[in-house]
Structures are given as structure tokens and as C-alpha cells.
């Protein structure tokens, strides 16, 4: 398997080292999240769940996460352009030995995004969050509010999986499905009914409709199945949270909503 010749976040162009901005954003997230108490294993799992590769064909593990967090070149050392500042590098050690009073909050913090633009929000101080693009002043949301909001939304979804739907789209049959549907109708209307031919046409129609499914369609069906087979329990189910959620959205006024992996936004008003 290949090894990286340059640290994650950099590439070589025309003989010079340049920043890969998408990877650099991951580097900044790792430093911030680790300082907040997330372990190497938690960070590696989060990156792998979102199919963010360490390099093509290689997933993250605690060693590759540690390699990033211990690399002084991200400060601009030895000819590398800086990705982080010295303060962020100093803060990479988690407070209080990395132990949180409520360990589940780690899963929420790592999913935290701006409710306006979807960008990563920064935790400025305890219980205050700011989007560098959208928020003039920091949004105040306590850890308890984040956990309670996420838990309430998940419990509602478990009780009402039919709330999960696709975005409105054109429901007209695509050309392949329409052709298969017409062929089936013709076969069924023939004077001499051919059962084998009819079965083949039914299978063709089902296949055409299946192939027409988008990734959002698939995620909607997957999420609804997971919700319908999950037993509700007290507290925050972080396993379920990671399975169906792509982001916890924090809004400027402190409201909290949830973005599912099919792109659907779930808010508290959806079940009030």
C-alpha cells in the first residue's frame, strides 16, 4: 500500500509545496476536536465514517491521526506553508486528561456545523460557537442543550420514521422504467398470456426503477429502516446518531437542528 511522501494537507506542484485546502480543513478540525477531548480512535472513526481517506486506499487509524497532531510542519516549519497557528498547536492536548463529564458530547461536537452555511463552527469558549462566515456574534449553546436537542430529535424519529422523506423531485418515470412498464402492459394484454414472459417483464420493470434510485433515495430507505428497527432507550444513542446524521446544525440564535445523511433537515418544530 502506498505511503504519503508529504504530510496530509500538502501536495507538490511545479516543484513547490502547496496546501490542499480540503485536507487542511480536516487538519484544523483534528486539532480543534482533539483539544476538546476527542480521542485518536474517535477522530479516526469519524473520518472513516465519512469516507475521508488518509490517502487513496488507506483509511485513518489512531496512528495516522497522531501523526497529524504531532507534526510541527503544520506551523510552517521547514519550508511548509502554515495550516494552523501556534496557539492551536499548543492547545492540541485535551484538557483534564481528555476525559469529559459527558462522553457522548464528543460525538455531537465533531458533527457541529453552521445552520446557515453548513461550514464547521468553532468553539470559542465553553458553550459558545461561531461560524467564521455567518455569525457576527457567537451562538451560546450549552453541552446539555446540544445533547438534549439531539436526543429529543432522535427519539422522535425512532417513533415516526415516516418523517424521513426525499426532497421533492419530479416523480415522472424515467425512459427505461417507462419502456419496461409499457412492455409489461403489452404482455399482460396479449390474447395468449405468457406467464414466463410476464414475470421477466415485471423483473425488468423492478430493475429499471431500482437503477433510477438516487443516493438520496437509498439513504432515505436506509435511515427509515434503521429507525424502524431501533429500540428507543433513555439518553443519547450516539451509535444511531452516527448512523443517520451528517451534521448537528447550530444556528445564530442558539437553535439546534439535525441534518440527516439523505440531506433532510430535522428541526424541533417538526414535532411540536
Calpha distance 252→232 (Å, rounded): 31
CA terminus-to-terminus distance, the chain: 52
What local confidence, expressed as pLDDT, does residue 98 receive? Answer: 41
Give 116-128 pLDDT, tens digit per residue. 888 888 776 667 8
What local confidence, expressed as pLDDT, does residue 210 receive? Answer: 65
Has residue 254 got a pLDDT over 60?
yes
Has residue 268 got a pLDDT over 70?
yes
Has residue 138 got a pLDDT over 50?
yes
Of 26-35, 91-100, 226-235, which one has max mean pLDDT? 26-35
Per-residue confidence at 252, pLDDT binned at 50, 70, 90?
Answer: confident
What local confidence, expressed as pLDDT, does residue 217 receive? Answer: 80
CATH code of the domain occupying 1-99: 3.90.1750.20
What local confidence, expressed as pLDDT, does residue 77 receive? Answer: 80
Give 181-220 pLDDT, tens digit per residue. 787 787 777 777 788 888 887 888 777 766 666 677 888 9
DSSP secondary structure of 237-270: -HHHHHHHEEEEEE-TTS-EEEEETTS-EE-GGG
Give 10-20 pLDDT, tens digit per residue. 999 988 999 99
What local confidence, expressed as pLDDT, does residue 34 receive? Answer: 85
Report CA torsion sign: 152, 157, 160, 166. positive
Calpha distance 94→236 (Å, rounded): 23
Segments making up each domain of the chain, as ranges = 1-99, 175-211
Calpha distance 4→95 (Å, rounded): 31
Report residue 103 as a C-alpha cell: 462522553
Give 40-70 pLDDT, tens digit per residue. 888 888 898 888 999 888 999 999 999 999 9
The label of the residue with cell 396479449 reads 190
pTM above 0.75, yes or no: no
Per-residue confidence at 1, pLDDT binned at 50, 70, 90?
Answer: very low
Has residue 170 got a pLDDT over 70?
no
Report CA torsion sign: 111, 116, 119, 120. negative
Amino acid at each position: 500500500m502506498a505511503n504519503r511522501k508529504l504530510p496530509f494537507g500538502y501536495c507538490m506542484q511545479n516543484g513547490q509545496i502547496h496546501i490542499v485546502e480540503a485536507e487542511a480543513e480536516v487538519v484544523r478540525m483534528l486539532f480543534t476536536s482533539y483539544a476538546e477531548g476527542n480521542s485518536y480512535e474517535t477522530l479516526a472513526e469519524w473520518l472513516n465514517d465519512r469516507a475521508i481517506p488518509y490517502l487513496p486506499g488507506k483509511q485513518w487509524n489512531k496512528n495516522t491521526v497522531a501523526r497529524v497532531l504531532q507534526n510541527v510542519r503544520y506551523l510552517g516549519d521547514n519550508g511548509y506553508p502554515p495550516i494552523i497557528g501556534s496557539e492551536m498547536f499548543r492547545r492540541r492536548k485535551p484538557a483534564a486528561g481528555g476525559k469529559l463529564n459527558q462522553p457522548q458530547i464528543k460525538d455531537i461536537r465533531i458533527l457541529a456545523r453552521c445552520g446557515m452555511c453548513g461550514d464547521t463552527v468553532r468553539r470559542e469558549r465553553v458553550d459558545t460557537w461561531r461560524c467564521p462566515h455567518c455569525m457576527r456574534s457567537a451562538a451560546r449553546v450549552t453541552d446539555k442543550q446540544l445533547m438534549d436537542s439531539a436526543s429529543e430529535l432522535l427519539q422522535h424519529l425512532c417513533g415516526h420514521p415516516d418523517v424521513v422523506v426525499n426532497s421533492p423531485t419530479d416523480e415522472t418515470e424515467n425512459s427505461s422504467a417507462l419502456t419496461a412498464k409499457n412492455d409489461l402492459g403489452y404482455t399482460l394484454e396479449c390474447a395468449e398470456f405468457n406467464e414466463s414472459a410476464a414475470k421477466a417483464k415485471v423483473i425488468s420493470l423492478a430493475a429499471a426503477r431500482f437503477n433510477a434510485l438516487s443516493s438520496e433515495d437509498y439513504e432515505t430507505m436506509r435511515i427509515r429502516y434503521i429507525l424502524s428497527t431501533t429500540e428507543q432507550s433513555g439518553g443519547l444513542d450516539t451509535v444511531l446518531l452516527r448512523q443517520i446524521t451528517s451534521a448537528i446544525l447550530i444556528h445564530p440564535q442558539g437553535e439546534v437542528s439535525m441534518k440527516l445523511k439523505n440531506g433532510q433537515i430535522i428541526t424541533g418544530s417538526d414535532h411540536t
